[in-house]
Amino acid sequence: MENAVSDAAVPPVPIADHRQSTATRDGWTVLCGVVLPILALVVELTSNICAEMFFDPLRSTLHVVGYASIAALMTWLVVCDRAAPAVLARQHAAAHVVLGVTLFFAAYFTPMLPISAVAILAIGLGFLSLSPFIVLLTLIGWLRRLHREDPALPIAARVGWCAAGLLAMVFADPLGTWTRVRLHAATTGTPVTRAVAIDQLRRYSSADVVARVFEEGLRPATDPIAYCLTDAEWNGDERLSRVVFQAFGESLPLPRGPRSRFGFDENFDVDGRFASPVLRDGFATHERAVRLQRSAYDTHVDPVAATIVTTWEIEFENPRMWPAEAIGTILLPARAVVGGLTLWVDGQPREAAFGTRSNVSTAYREVTARGRDPALVVSDGPRRVRLSCFPIPPQGRMRMRLHVIGALSPDPTGLADVALPCFEKGDFAVAADGFAPVRHSVVIAGALGVARMSPALRADAEDRLTGALTHADLAARPTVARIAVVEPTRARLWNDDSGVTWSAKAATSAVPGASAFVVVIDASRGMDGRLRAVADALDAIDPRFDVAIVLAGDRPELLTTGGISPALPTRVREATQRLRVVPCVGGRDNAAALTLALDLIGPRDDARIVWVHAPQAMSLEGESQLAIALDLASRAPRVVSIATTAVADSVLRGFREAGLDVDERVDADVGQALASAFVDVETAGAPARLVCARADDAARATGLRVEHAADIWRRLAVYDDVLRLLGTTRADHVEQAQKLAIAARLVTPVTGAVVLETDAQYPRFGLSAPEPASAEISAAPEPETYLMLALAGLALFFVRARRGGGA
């Protein structure tokens, strides 16, 4: 009956006109409902243009399927014959589902409407962002037609199908929504709720999901459900950073996987604003524009003089349109000191002036305010210096060279480690691995032979190693080679300018060796796959030692019974069996475990803490307890730190701030490092210290003359003097130390090095102008290749012209 009424209501249309109008309608549908959505989908999936500039409309696979379903439905409507009522009913229902999907995307793109309109008017682009609205108009036309053809579908069913489509899109990212809700609980709940939420995040979510969630932020448009459930603005919240670190062992914002779904790794497109490569393991924790473009080490090891000189050339690049600063902390090898800094200004190398720390810092601050060309190096704690440079010109580079001198410290067999300085943290990007990692070019020359420790290096000759290390390689093991020192037990002798003979020798530590250890073992993600090696090293521990083993989990756990007791094999094995099955996840609070270790040691003088750990990038709750425990301790505990990689560690920083002398070791093979630490600490209570003094008759009789390295030894002797003076509390000693260090051109805790733009600027800040750069200059740089090519082209043109003329 209804059909009859409906048919009667429609006026008859001539067959030719009807065919023409159908063809026009189908053509319009194909263009607006099929081609445009597919084009928008393909462009967004391949380029991520909207995701990178505004927001990600295709956050999950379901969103992609939803958007693709629009084109699928339109194709179905155009192609399929609707004569059969069942097909018509299915199409009608499907059209309402797709209506819901389209409404979702239209609502999503509503804020883009004005931008699209302006873009279309200005540059003729922006149709793709309008595609949901165009599709919506097309779909409404089709719905009217379908409703005429199939009026039997009740209104409730229509609304239901439409709501289903809409809700499918709203709930399309359940893991993202759940992660947001759990992150909120982990940051705002009670301690118990927090622990449960962190555990659930570890189990059911992942670092990639959190990275995506963090990048999308919490807005009604991105995740309305999570927005309603949490009602919190947690972006940039420090508590959130802690939670993410505890759950996944990485700091925010987390590095993402390949940005483009079809193709290039994001490291490939390093020039893009959104494509700065980021370093894992907490070094470069932000997507940063300034990046380390080039790094080249040239190390000369002298086995006779037992010295090592490293020239490290660094180049930063700034792809932005405005100037930027680069600041980084460099971990130096043991017994090494920065003895020079060269900055290239207008293509010319300029040497640094040395001055008191306050003078050089003031000079740097005031000159950077005017946007000039300074670079600064100051001490940043034991074995660390901080390098700052500004301005790296827009879309330009800044090149500098750091000179590091040091003494080799041979072991009883006469072998000495050759380690390189490396960045521990910084505010610039370094691609650690991936498609285009920064590779540190390394050349190590040792006159009498040098053996490689890093597999990435190769021996070009017996006395020369070359290779290229990624930053991940270097941070995991800064000790890249070993060298046999000639006459390792003999003191080195040299004469100063006034003819006085000096000697340098490693002094045996006055601290007695240890017979008891509290081994604190981190169970963070960075230790994954390494606990077995640690367990093996513990199984081999000498039973004469007393030992206790503490596991740094979410809460500290004492794995051995009976406190610090003899390392009986059965007792240790019980602990190591547990250790072998411990899962390494997230970032654990090592400070709490170290506090427990301090309690266990108590007043024992012969006990050491051996702490095996991955870097703890974030300050967690346990650090305040540790600080209190350190304050209350009757004497400073002796700690040996064995880290898996050279990355800034908040607990180690706390130790440094508390004035604790920590024996820091970095080695990715923590099992081997732990075994050798037991041996070292048993034989010597602390690392052997270099002692430089005027040579007495006995030293002259037995020492080895190293006049060719007198300059290096003279400066190392001054460094030794400076540290000794700073160990006292007398104020005049500080001044004396400053004078000595400035004269010897050394970066110490009280002095620094700065390069300013002109010589005239130095006196204003109480600094003496540096020695002219010509004291050490690049002699004969080649002209640029393109200039020589142009010249060669001219010559060829000349030849051709002459031959042509002759012909």
Cα torsion 541, 417, 328, 213: sign: negative
H or E segment to which residue 149 belongs = helix 131-149
Out of 79, 760, 780, 807, the only residue in the binding site for another protein (CB under 8 A) is 780
> Does 776 interact with another protein (rule: CB under 8 A)?
yes
> Does 606 interact with another protein (rule: CB under 8 A)?
no
Q: By CB under 8 A, what part of segment 496-555 binds another protein?
A: none
Site map for another protein, 13-42, x if CB under 8 A?
A: ------------------------------
> Does 443 interact with another protein (rule: CB under 8 A)?
yes
Out of 8, 14, 774, 805, the only residue in the binding site for another protein (CB under 8 A) is 774
Q: Which one of 15-23, 38-46, 214-222, 767-775 is the stretch in contact with another protein (CB under 8 A)?
A: 767-775
Out of 466, 495, 509, 515, the only residue in the binding site for another protein (CB under 8 A) is 466
Cβ distance to another protein smaller for residue 75 or 260: 260
Cβ distance to another protein smaller for residue 732 or 782: 782
DSSP letter, residue 20? H
Cβ distance to another protein smaller for residue 76 or 268: 268
Q: Which one of 106-114, 204-212, 717-725, 794-802 is the stretch in contact with another protein (CB under 8 A)?
A: 794-802
Out of 785, 804, 805, 806, the only residue in the binding site for another protein (CB under 8 A) is 785
Q: By CB under 8 A, what part of segment 256-315 binds another protein?
A: 268, 296, 300, 313
Closest-CA residue to 275 (of 53, 106, 495)? 53
Place of tokens 């000349």: 798
Return d(Cα 773, Cα 778) in angstroms, integer: 9
H or E segment to which residue 362 belongs = helix 357-369
What is the number of other CB atoms lying within 10 angstroms of the CB of residue 125?
Answer: 10
> Does 783 interact with another protein (rule: CB under 8 A)?
yes
Pairing of strands 689-694, 501-507: antiparallel
Give the binding-site size for another protein (rule: CB under 8 A). 39
At closest approach, how far in Å is the CB of 311 from another protein?
9
Q: By CB under 8 A, what part of segment 386-405 binds another protein?
A: none
Out of 80, 117, 125, 787, the only residue in the binding site for another protein (CB under 8 A) is 787
- Cα angle: 98, vertex 101, 107; to 5 degrees: 135
Cβ distance to another protein smaller for residue 167 or 792: 792
> Does 436 interact with another protein (rule: CB under 8 A)?
yes
Return d(Cα 613, Cα 617) in angstroms, integer: 12
Sequence-distant (6+) residues with CB within 8 A of 563 are 548, 600
Out of 31, 125, 628, 792, the only residue in the binding site for another protein (CB under 8 A) is 792
At closest approach, how far in Å is the CB of 443 from another protein?
6
Cβ distance to another protein smaller for residue 339 or 637: 339
At closest approach, how far in Å is the CB of 354 from another protein?
18
Rg (CA), the chain: 34
What is the number of other CB atoms lying within 10 angstroms of the CB of residue 61?
Answer: 11
Return d(Cα 718, Cα 134) in angstroms, integer: 77
> Does 714 interact with another protein (rule: CB under 8 A)?
no
At closest approach, how far in Å is the CB of 492 from another protein?
19
> Does 775 interact with another protein (rule: CB under 8 A)?
yes
Cβ distance to another protein smaller for residue 266 or 546: 266
Q: Which one of 73-81, 532-540, 759-767, 783-791 is the stretch in contact with another protein (CB under 8 A)?
A: 783-791
Cβ distance to another protein smaller for residue 94 or 444: 444
> Does 782 interact with another protein (rule: CB under 8 A)?
yes
Return d(Cα 440, Cα 460) in angstroms, integer: 17
Cβ distance to another protein smaller for residue 115 or 296: 296
Q: By CB under 8 A, what part of segment 445-464 binds another protein?
A: 445, 464
Out of 124, 154, 562, 781, the only residue in the binding site for another protein (CB under 8 A) is 781
Site map for another protein, 333-362, x if CB under 8 A?
A: -------------xxx--------------
What is the DSSP track for 84-146? SHHHHHHHHHHHHHHHHHHHHHHHHHGGGHHHHHHHHHHHS--TTTTHHHHHHHHHHHHHHHH
For the chain, the residue count is: 807
Out of 140, 698, 789, 801, the only residue in the binding site for another protein (CB under 8 A) is 789
Lookup: tokens for 99: 């209506």
Return d(Cα 327, Cα 428) in angstroms, integer: 7
Sequence-distant (6+) residues with CB within 8 A of 384 are 329, 330, 331, 332, 424
Q: By CB under 8 A, what part of segment 90-129 binds another protein?
A: none
Q: Which one of 279-287, 437-445, 482-490, 699-707 is the stretch in contact with another protein (CB under 8 A)?
A: 437-445
**Backbone phi, psi, residue 539, to 5°:** -60, -30
Return d(Cα 282, Cα 305) in angstroms, integer: 38
Q: Which one of 151-159, 594-602, 619-627, 770-778 is the stretch in contact with another protein (CB under 8 A)?
A: 770-778
Out of 786, 804, 805, 806, the only residue in the binding site for another protein (CB under 8 A) is 786
Out of 701, 779, 805, 806, the only residue in the binding site for another protein (CB under 8 A) is 779
Is the distance from CB of 308 to CB of 408 less than 8 angstroms?
Answer: yes
Q: Which one of 142-150, 496-504, 614-622, 769-777 is the stretch in contact with another protein (CB under 8 A)?
A: 769-777
Return d(Cα 723, Cα 739) in angstroms, integer: 13
Cβ distance to another protein smaller for residue 698 or 788: 788
Q: How buried is residue 190: exposed, middle or buried, by Cβ count under 10 Å (0-12/13-18/19+)?
A: exposed
> Does 777 interact with another protein (rule: CB under 8 A)?
yes
> Does 788 interact with another protein (rule: CB under 8 A)?
yes
Cβ distance to another protein smaller for residue 57 or 303: 303
Which residues on neighbouring strands pair with residue 517, listed in sequence order?
Answer: 547, 608
Is the distance from CB of 330 to CB of 431 less than 8 angstroms?
Answer: no
At closest approach, how far in Å is the CB of 588 from another protein?
40
- Cα angle: 707, vertex 410, 464; to 5 degrees: 75
Cβ distance to another protein smaller for residue 298 or 606: 298
At closest approach, how far in Å is the CB of 344 from another protein?
11
At closest approach, how far in Å is the CB of 803 from another protein?
9
Q: How buried is residue 271: exposed, middle or buried, by Cβ count under 10 Å (0-12/13-18/19+)?
A: exposed
> Does 441 interact with another protein (rule: CB under 8 A)?
yes
Cβ distance to another protein smaller for residue 97 or 275: 275
User: b vs e for 398-429, b when ≥16 Cβ sit within 10 Å of the residue's Cβ?
Assistant: bbbbbbbbbbbbbeeeeebbbbbbbbbbbebb
Is the distance from CB of 394 to CB of 318 less than 8 angstroms?
Answer: yes
Cβ distance to another protein smaller for residue 270 or 593: 270
Question: What does the CA dihedral 512, 515, 521, 526 come to, rounded to 10 degrees?
Answer: 50
> Does 159 interact with another protein (rule: CB under 8 A)?
no
Cβ distance to another protein smaller for residue 574 or 757: 757
Sequence-distant (6+) residues with CB within 8 A of 337 are 404, 405, 406, 715, 716, 719, 746, 747, 748
Lookup: tokens for 536: 């093996």
Cβ distance to another protein smaller for residue 411 or 776: 776
Is the distance from CB of 354 to CB of 745 less than 8 angstroms?
Answer: yes
Q: Which one of 38-46, 111-119, 390-398, 439-447 is the stretch in contact with another protein (CB under 8 A)?
A: 439-447
Binding site for another protein (CB under 8 A): 268, 296, 300, 313, 346-348, 436, 441, 443, 445, 464, 466, 468, 772-789, 791-792, 795-796, 798-800
